[in-house]
Chain A
Amino acid sequence: MYTIRKLRPDRSIGMILFPFAAMALIAASGALFGIRAAYAVGGAFFLLYASYSFLTYLRTGNPGFIVVSLFQLSASLVALAVFADPGRRPSRPALFFAACMAFFAVWMILLVVQKRLKWRGREVLELAAASVEQTQNGYTGRPLPVGKTEFNQRQILEFAEFARRHLIAATYVGRDRVAFVPVREGREPAFLLGLKSDYSGETWVSFDFEGNVSANVAQRDYLEYREALSFDKLCESLGNLFVEFAGMFQRGEGVRIIDRLDAVGLSFLA
């Protein structure tokens, strides 16, 4: 079945920029300083990337990133083992780490294909816009009070943990509210590295501990839609989507949330 998307196709190159830059750096160091230097730079790069993946795990609680981190760590150790013992035949440690790397690579590819490592911001934005009609541009930077729910503080915090772990949204837990920020693939580093201490300029849905729900759509995300959608309806729909997700989670139907996100049918790379 062909689905009409409301978002523009993702043409950002942010996701591939870092690996390509690293490969260029490795190649350049190899050309300039020899093959050993290339292994050293590659090892350092993968070690750095492994730290970043582990940080992602710490921030989100998504165990898939441990696998990614272990793959990158193995890759780093292979490079460093070859750097330390540059004989014609690979050393035993290098072979062991290469076997580990292959094992974790297969596991990681499975996780990627299953979208376990995918930030779901695009799916969330697609779902929010699904029932919203086109109209004149009615954008405003103000958030929309969506309504009141019966969720208590514990339930909201549990849902926040779920949303974080399944990469549905980055969460900001305050004294009296939790804000959910759907993050599109490629935009997560700023959230993971703590560069986004203020979420007010982002697309977010907040649940305060008295049950009030508000939603805001950032202009950048609004402009990602192909058409000028009714802005109040879009904010309302986004807020209601999270209220619905929270309700499903409370009923123990978390897996259905993931099914709904998967049903949008975006590629694991989008």
Chain B
Amino acid sequence: MDFKTAAALGACLAKDYAEDFFELLVNYQDLSASEAASRLGLHIRTAQDFLETLASLGIVDQQEVFEQKRPYFRYTLKRRRIVLDLDLGQVRRTRTAGDLAGRVREKANSGARFSLARSGDRIGQVTFWTGEGRERKEHKISLTDPQGLFLYHLPFPNAEPLAIADILHKAGVDPKLAPEILDIVEVLIRRDAIEAGPA
């Protein structure tokens, strides 16, 4: 199951009327959105959305019915067991050794503020400001300890850029934690607080 499907299913199950809805679907041979809505005291649009989402997830079968009135859908439960199986490995970013060879340093006049952690031996958070005048907003990124140590050892704006692997070594950060370091480096490059030098 991919993340979007799992999110849609999770959102369905989180509805406060979900259990009652599934009780109807289990016990009725089939039912329409208006029947479910009247039975559960919901707006017909709410019931319709819920059933359509279940149909898109393959949990119910959707059949168009033609009677004297205009056509409508009836829904039948296809399976009684729902399994939410999500492999989080799929959102893990793949990193190569080349990523750690990238040379970085702080960008001059970036406008970002690096605040020291209370311990004084690492950066605790980075603050950015966006917009002008009344639209000006502050964004703070709180850092993990390895990220804080890494940024504490980041070369200054006019200093020679260093390879990420070298900075990790200098900061005494375990290279196994490289994914979270690379993540913050990417964010700070996007925010123009760090600049990438030649590899």
B113 interface contact, C-beta 8 A = yes
Q: Chain A residues with Cβ under 8 A from B151's Cβ? A: 142
B120/A140 in contact, CB under 8 A = no
A232 interface contact, C-beta 8 A = yes
| Of B114, B119, B151, B157, most A-chain CB atoms within 10 Å | B157
B153/A137 in contact, CB under 8 A = no
Q: Chain B residues with Cβ under 8 A from A138's Cβ? A: 108, 156-159
A232 vs B157: C-alpha distance when bound (angstroms): 8
Contact residues of A between 121 and 142, Cβ < 8 Å to B: 135-142
Q: How far is the CB of B145 from chain A (nearest CB, A)?
A: 15
Closest A-chain residue to B106, C-beta based? A140
B159/A232 in contact, CB under 8 A = yes
Chain A 87-106 per-residue mask, 1 if CB under 8 angstroms from chain B, else 0: 00000000000000000000
- Given A136-B108, A140-B106, answer yes or no on A231-B158 (Cβ-Cβ < 8 Å): yes
Cross-chain contact of B120 among A137, A142, A206 (Cβ < 8 A): A206
Contact residues of A between 115 and 170, Cβ < 8 Å to B: 135-145
A139/B153 in contact, CB under 8 A = no
Q: How far is the CB of B126 from chain A (nearest CB, A)?
A: 10
Q: How far is the CB of B106 from chain A (nearest CB, A)?
A: 5
Closest A-chain residue to B149, C-beta based? A145
A143/B158 in contact, CB under 8 A = no
B121/A212 in contact, CB under 8 A = yes
B155 interface contact, C-beta 8 A = yes
Cross-chain contact of A177 among B113, B120, B156 (Cβ < 8 A): B120
B156/A143 in contact, CB under 8 A = no
A142/B114 in contact, CB under 8 A = yes
Chain A 166-203 per-residue mask, 1 if CB under 8 angstroms from chain B, else 0: 00000000101101000000000000000000001000
A232 vs B119: C-alpha distance when bound (angstroms): 22
Closest A-chain residue to B119, C-beta based? A176
A232 vs B116: C-alpha distance when bound (angstroms): 17
A230 interface contact, C-beta 8 A = yes
Q: Chain B residues with Cβ under 8 A from A208's Cβ? A: 120-121
Cross-chain contact of B152 among A142, A177, A179 (Cβ < 8 A): A142
- Given A141-B113, A142-B114, A200-B116, answer yes or no on A231-B121 (Cβ-Cβ < 8 Å): no
Q: How far is the CB of B27 from chain A (nearest CB, A)?
A: 64
A60 interface contact, C-beta 8 A = no
B116/A140 in contact, CB under 8 A = no
A177 vs B116: C-alpha distance when bound (angstroms): 14
Closest A-chain residue to B157, C-beta based? A138
B114/A141 in contact, CB under 8 A = yes
Chain B 38-74 per-residue mask, 1 if CB under 8 angstroms from chain A, else 0: 0000000000000000000000000000000000000
B123 interface contact, C-beta 8 A = yes
B154 interface contact, C-beta 8 A = yes
A136/B158 in contact, CB under 8 A = yes
A76 interface contact, C-beta 8 A = no
Q: Chain A residues with Cβ under 8 A from B113's Cβ? A: 141
Q: How far is the CB of B167 from chain A (nearest CB, A)?
A: 11
Chain A 216-239 per-residue mask, 1 if CB under 8 angstroms from chain B, else 0: 000000000000001110010000
A231/B156 in contact, CB under 8 A = yes
A69 interface contact, C-beta 8 A = no
Closest B-chain residue to A231, C-beta based? B156
A138 vs B158: C-alpha distance when bound (angstroms): 5
Contact residues of B between 96 and 132, Cβ < 8 Å to A: 106, 108-109, 113-116, 119-121, 123
List 23 A-B residue pairs with CB atoms under 8 Å apart, sorted by A's residue number. A137-B108, A137-B109, A138-B108, A138-B156, A138-B158, A139-B108, A140-B114, A140-B156, A140-B157, A142-B151, A142-B152, A143-B116, A145-B170, A177-B121, A200-B116, A206-B120, A208-B120, A208-B121, A230-B158, A231-B156, A231-B158, A232-B158, A235-B156
Tell me the A residues contacting B by CB distance below 8 Å: 135-145, 174, 176-177, 179, 200, 206, 208, 212, 214, 230-232, 235
